[in-house]
Structure 1
Amino acid sequence: MNKTLIKGLAFSALALGIGFTTQQTNADASTAYRTVKTKSYYSTTPAYHAKNATKSVYMWNSTITKKLHNLKNYPKTTWYVQKSVKLTNGKKTGIFYYVENASNSVRGYVWRGYLTKGSLSTATNTNSLTTATSNNSITFNFVDDNTGATVKTAQWIIPNSYLKSGATLKKGVLLKNVLTNLAKVWTGASSVGPDGYDIIDTSGTGQSTLKVGGTLTLKVTAQPTK
């Protein structure tokens, strides 16, 4: 066969191969998600846990192209939201939470629909106490920051695990005197807050004077839709 013809065929095959590789690379890159909007929760880090501890739910990297962890391998873990991000790949769009465990050793992005509000210990303790009374709980009044309307009113039973050594709960006792950390109030608010809303009142106003059996009003705003 003519050498010139052979070289021409070889060059054509090489060009086709390069073209296919380039197209494949571009196709893979197009599946990566990009950030549309971000909302920080570093000041409050609300607590969440997996809705179904036995279901395979993956934690991803920031572009949702690499699986980092499977939540079913952490059935007793409480996840703390650092930020909420709206991600899109051009075809699909969703809200993901960037979460970390308590020791910050496991972290990544999880679709918010796979998580439910509240720490695992709070959920367990709340379920073990059958009735909220003025001697073991506080009431949260969640108000829409835009309309001023009350979105939800809920009682939070204070877990014994949150108390200082030797402290007991009783109506009228200042929470700052019995809780190991007053920030636990935010954990409680997150666990009973209205679905589809974010707590934006992070100033801590009223916490220092809040008593067992008392009420704390917090401002909330509706989460962005998908």
Structure 2
Amino acid sequence: MNKIIFKSLALGALTLGVGFTTQQVSASAAYRTVKTKSYASTTPAYHAKNATKSVYLWNSTLTKKQHNLKNYPKTTWYVQKSVKLTNGKKTGIFYYVKNKSNSASGYVWRNYLTKGKFAATSGTSTATDPTVATSSNSLMFKYVNADSGATVATATWIIPSKLLKSGASLSKGTSMKSVLKDITSVLSASSADIPTGYDVVDTTYPDVVTSKVGETLIFHVLPQNN
């Protein structure tokens, strides 16, 4: 039975990994501005479409990450301008946004945002989900170089309440499999935080199946072949 579970998880992770790699490659080559439309006089309000997903604010050429929207789950973003960017192969519309205090800003693909100010009743955010990670509501992902054993990166995942089974609650040491609707949600979250320029080389994920709230899960990675 475990072999079936592991094989299913590995297949799911492979699919997720491919999608993530594609997203990173699309932002690796420098983009240039084709067209700009200013919203400085109106600064329309938007919020993250999915507050638990890793979505980045970039610099103007999409070569450097500035902020991760999942670290700002209750933030309203104000559009300063809309820009059409291209790298010669791919073209997209991005919004240059700032938060109210002007402490965070950057360019984000417009489809990652939903129009309107953040509200507790928004379909993509909940007032009950915490914004600070603790050992009672999160998992830590550690990405380790499979050859050298060195830690490449770490990431903390606050477990969203919408992924929990009906009536389930989180506490330190609780089995993830017992509270999640789908244990592969852990793989989805870990895939989103794979360090740029690396691929996960694990083929089975027994630690994911047996993971508990508050634990650190280790994923082995190697640099991508360019």
TM-score, normalised to structure 2, is 0.46
Bigger relative contact order (CA 8 A; separation at least 6): 2
Q: Which has the larger radius of gyration?
A: 1
